[in-house]
Structure 1
Amino acid sequence: MTITLAEEIMLLSLDDESGSAKQRQAAGWAVAGGILLELVLAERVSVVGKYLELVDTMPTGERLLDNRTALIEAWMRGRSKRRVTEWLTKDQPKAVRAALESLCERGVVVEERRRALGLFPMRRYPEADGTVEGELRERLRAVVLDGADPDMRTAGLIALIHSAKLHALAFPDSPREQVARRMAEVAAGQWATESIRAAIRDMQAAVAAVTVVTVLAAGT
């Protein structure tokens, strides 16, 4: 089963049994970035420097992406470009929910609703089909730990994980320094055209910027 970059990041963040999200804030930024990166790869938007431009509104056939194209078009308000970080900040909470709904529709996770202390509504998303995450982790392991050459989408996924500092979600039992070093190499590697690499570098910078702001705010 092929799932989007955003869904892959969301899946990595969910505890398989409890269905609760780990590193939810940072993962949320990477999820929003994953949707945007998919739109870059599909040539629906462009990311150059600090700015986002909408270049094509033709449907991709993937509802998660097409809904975001429509939202970006409305958000642009006729402007030719707007800041990437502004879009990520606006979309992050909604992107997480959209990715979870898509995983539920695919049958990868199931939604469970309950009340904490009998009062506060909570939602959890335990895994229903472990093969999808298993294949995902094997793909990441082959590139990051075994040194295999990545395809474009896997390299983009690794770049987003690295920029949001989610190394422990992808490789909880591996030395972080080793994992981070290899992820940095992949993100900067010769696996795509220069225009795509540049877009991903700019996306990394945007995701890293909003992640740092969130971490600092939480600390205060």
Structure 2
Amino acid sequence: MSVTLGEEIMLLSLDDESGAAKDREAAGWAVAGGIVLELALAGRLAVAEGRLEVADRTPTGTGLLDERLGLIDAWAAKKSRAPKVTDWLTKDHGRAVGATIESLRARGLVSEEQRKVLGLFPVRRYPEADGAPERELRERLASVVLRGADPDDRTAGLIALIHAAKLHRLAFPEVPAREVTPRMEKIADGRWAGDEVRTAIRTMQAAMVAVTVLTTVTVIG
């Protein structure tokens, strides 16, 4: 399978040379949201009215997605009703980032380096190893957002997540957010898409707004 939505967001976040993550907190939420949306678009999850449930347990054939599908299935089975999307994102976003980076490393798209901050504290960084997928991704985003091309379902979902998490700077580092926000908002609205796709995108967008606002309030408080 091609690079997943969560992996695409992670590629946008990771600095190509240093391998450090930019906008790490918001990007982490978006990565977890991207995995859920990818599973919804693949028909494995039903996502509507702020809740999710497993609709099809058939493996997708992509390790990152299938692992998350199994975890969601086991977690949701313990609930008396379909759980909230925001509850899953809150539970999984940290682990989802680690799993997504490992998937990128296994694909050969990033490499792993161990460094020490201030010569004392060991950290891992993930610089770019194969830049082709990210170049294709940025060209696809530019084509849709800057040049007005019609998006496919996955690209529209990706743009909706980026917009909801306020990651405009990661996708378009040289373009002021005010110049891309109206177009991204129109795409995220999803009026061009079918009912199921539109519902999934809107539900995930609402969940992303909710968790990122909650995070901001918690940090400020």
TMscore range, shorter length: over 0.9
Which residue of the partner structure matches residue 56 of structure 1?
56
What is the Cα deviation at residue 196 of structure 1?
A: 1.1
Query: Structure 1 stretch 74-83 or stretch 165-174: which is displaced more?
Result: 74-83
Secondary structure of 2:178's aligned partner: helix
Residue 214 (structure 2) pairs with residue 207 (structure 1) = no
4+ residue runs over 4 A deviation: none
Q: Which amino acid aligns with 1:126?
A: P
What is the Cα deviation at residue 185 of structure 1?
A: 0.8
Which residue of the partner structure matches residue 41 of structure 1?
41
Secondary structure of 1:82's aligned partner: coil
| Cα deviation code 1:12-40 (max 9, x no counterpart) | 01111101000000000000000000110
> TM-score of the superposition, structure 2-length normalised?
0.96
Which residue of the partner structure matches residue 22 of structure 1?
22
Distance 2:153 2:55 in 1: 21
Give the number of aligned pairs.
Answer: 220
Which residue of the partner structure matches residue 67 of structure 2?
67
Contact kept, 8 Å, 1:110 with 1:128, in 2: the verdict is yes
| Cα deviation code 1:35-61 (max 9, x no counterpart) | 000110111111111111111111010
Q: Which amino acid aligns with 1:174?
A: V
Matches within 5 A, 1:1-220: 2-79=2-79, 80-220=81-221
Query: Structure 1 stretch 13-22 or stretch 172-181: which is displaced more?
Result: 172-181
Q: Which amino acid aligns with 1:88?
A: L
Secondary structure of 2:182's aligned partner: helix
Distance 1:128 1:102 in 2: 13
What is the Cα deviation at residue 219 of structure 1?
A: 2.2
What is the Cα deviation at residue 117 of structure 1?
A: 2.7
Identical amino acids, percent of aligned pairs: 62
- CA RMSD for the aligned pairs? 1.2
What is the Cα deviation at residue 190 of structure 1?
A: 3.7
Distance 2:20 2:215 in 1: 20
Q: Which blocks of at least 5 consecutive residues in structure 1 are unaligned?
A: none
What is the Cα deviation at residue 78 of structure 1?
A: 4.2
Contact kept, 8 Å, 1:150 with 1:191, in 2: the verdict is no
Q: Which blocks of at least 5 consecutive residues in structure 2 are unaligned?
A: none
What is the Cα deviation at residue 214 of structure 1?
A: 1.0
Secondary structure of 2:147's aligned partner: coil
Distance 1:195 1:2 in 2: 22
